Amino acid sequence: MAATRSSASRRALCSASAIVCKQVTGTHVLRVDGYSHLREVGKIGAYLAIASDPNAKEPVSARTKFSVLDRLRNPGLVKETVMASFKAGGTWGYGCLIGGEDLHKSEYLNNDSFAIRCDITVTTVSERPDHVVFIAGNTEPDVTQT
């Protein structure tokens, strides 16, 4: 005599959550005209401050790349950072991206001006809260006895 498979369906209870990461990349170019008036400075630095919600509890993760551009606006001298956490009001960068004398003798200075490009990649992380999922199906094994 054979046992028959139960036709009763049961629902399994399961919870699920997700963490979603997205990256957004943007570029900003700073052009400095009249460099000869700044020669006494001795060095050129580049810093980035990320404007974020001052009430934000979590820091923003970002990677920056500073490039001194040549006459054709192609990246020449490049300094890149690792992924760093920025809190509201925080900055990241280089106090000496290029020395003043090095800039003066370089291909980057053109008609008493130069440009620095900053590429920034910001990673956002959002969490999706737990929620309950019902999965319909037969939870009993298919057993046949002969």
Give the pair of three-digit tokens for residue 55: 């009430």
CATH number belonging to domain 17-127: 2.60.210.10
Annotate 96-135 with DSSP letters as a single string: EEEEHHHHHTSTT-BTTEEEEEEEEEEEEEEEEEEEEEEE
Residue ranges per structural domain of the chain:
17-127
- Give the model confidence (pLDDT) of 25-39 as tens digits: 899 999 988 888 776
Please give the pLDDT value at position 14. Answer: 74
Three-state secondary-structure class, residue 139: coil
Structure tokens at 32: 């400095």
Query: Whole-number mean pLDDT of the chain?
Result: 75
Whole-prediction pTM? 0.65
Task: Establish how many alpha carbons lie within 13 A of residue 14's alpha carbon, considering only the half-sphere containing its beta carbon.
Answer: 10
Query: What band does 97 get if pLDDT is binned at 50, 70 and 90?
Result: confident
3-state secondary structure of 36: helix
In the DSSP assignment, the letter for residue 4 is: P
Amino acid at 102: D
Give the mean pLDDT of 78-97: 77
Report d(CA 116, CA 109) in Å as an integer: 11
**55 — pLDDT class (breaks 50, 70, 90):** low
Band of residue 6 on the pLDDT scale cut at 50, 70, 90: very low
HSE-up of residue 71 (Cα within 13 Å, Cβ side): 6
What SS3 class is residue 38?
Answer: helix
